[in-house]
Copies of this chain bind each other. A is one copy, B any other.
Amino acid sequence: MHIPFDQLKAEFKRVLLKLNFTHERADFCAQIFAENSRDGVYTHGLNRFPAFVQHIKNGLINIDAQPTLINNLGAIEQWDGNLAPGILNASFCMDRAITLAEQNGIGCVAIKNTNHWMHGGTYGWQAADAGFIGICITNSIANMVPWGGSTNALGNNPLIIALPRADGHVVLDMAISQYSKGKVLQYQSFEDELPFVGGYDGDGNLTKDPNAIIESKRLLPIGLWKGSALSMVLDMLVSALSLGKTVKQITDQGNESSASQVFIAIKPFNA
């Protein structure tokens, strides 16, 4: 079944307006959700939209909130996301990072109390479209077992690195798990096995079975001990820079809200 882009976006927007979004904010969020589906990132497009709506209904997302500035040290700023929709906060932060990079060559914005940014690549493209190198990092709820451990303590903390190119940008957008949670859910919905081991079953054995991984909630880090360490350090980096919640604090509250994120924009010397 194929649905035209405009029809998909209009339907997202209709739902968001019914949830009392302003026209401008509904239009922006609907555009991003529709683009994510259009670009093949189904896991953070239509497939994710119901969870986004549920978070709004549960009060985990404040649809009218705006980020507020806490600290500015020149080329780096700290913001409070006030639990606004993650898409809006992330887009705002990368815009600020680009402005700081225009003034200083490099700009860094850290934000606490924000929400899931959906497709992280969106903000990498945003930087690259403006002619800047972009780096974005977020933490998440615990969904990986530290190497040698048996209980979830690490987030898969996606990392985005984007490079502007006249002939088409290069954008890396990867979770630190071998498969993102959304990708495992996608294999599960198609009743397919993963091509490679992607997590642990309830007995702690590595498995390709998406059902077992979704049930155990234990994704496998890339590079075994290496991804385990990288995930921990990325969490420390975003929570230290934003003075926001760590993976443990997000996990302890029982739902994936009030994440910590960092956005860096760098002006290339040959631009």
Q: Which residues of A contact B (CB under 8 A)?
A: 70-76, 78, 103-108, 110, 133, 161, 163, 170, 172, 174, 178, 196, 221-224, 226-227, 229-230, 233-234, 236-237, 240-241, 243, 264, 266-270
Q: Which residues of the partner chain B approach A73 to less than 8 Å between Cβ atoms? A: 104-106, 267, 269
Of chain B, the residue at the smallest CB distance from A221 is B223
Q: Which residues of the partner chain B approach A221 to less than 8 Å between Cβ atoms? A: 223
Centre residue among A161, A222, A224 by max chain B CB count within 10 A = A222
A243 to B270, CA, bound (A): 8
Contact, CB under 8 Å: B106 / A76: yes
- Given A105-B73, A163-B240, A224-B196, A229–B267 Cβ distance below 8 Å? no
CB-contact partner of A233 in B163, B236, B266, under 8 A: B163
Copies of this chain present: 2
Tell me whether chain A's interface is mostly helix, strand or loop, or mixed. mixed
A236 to B161, CA, bound (A): 10
- Given A226-B222, A230-B174, A240-B133, A267–B76 Cβ distance below 8 Å? yes
A196 to B220, CA, bound (A): 15
Q: Which residues of the partner chain B approach A74 to less than 8 Å between Cβ atoms? A: 75, 103-106
Contact, CB under 8 Å: B269 / A108: no
CB-contact partner of A224 in B161, B178, B264, B270, under 8 A: B178
A222 to B107, CA, bound (A): 29
Contact, CB under 8 Å: B163 / A236: yes
Q: Which residues of the partner chain B approach A236 to less than 8 Å between Cβ atoms? A: 163, 170
CB-contact partner of A163 in B72, B237, B243, B266, under 8 A: B237
20 chain-A/chain-B pairs, Cβ below 8 angstroms: A73-B104, A73-B105, A74-B75, A74-B106, A75-B104, A104-B104, A108-B266, A133-B241, A161-B233, A161-B237, A163-B237, A170-B233, A170-B236, A174-B223, A174-B229, A178-B223, A178-B224, A240-B270, A241-B266, A241-B269
A178 to B226, CA, bound (A): 7
A188 to B158, CA, bound (A): 35
CB-contact partner of A223 in B222, B233, B266, under 8 A: B222
* Complex A-B, nearest 9 residue pairs according to Cβ-Cβ distance, in ascending order: A222-B223, A73-B105, A76-B105, A74-B104, A75-B104, A172-B233, A75-B75, A74-B105, A76-B106
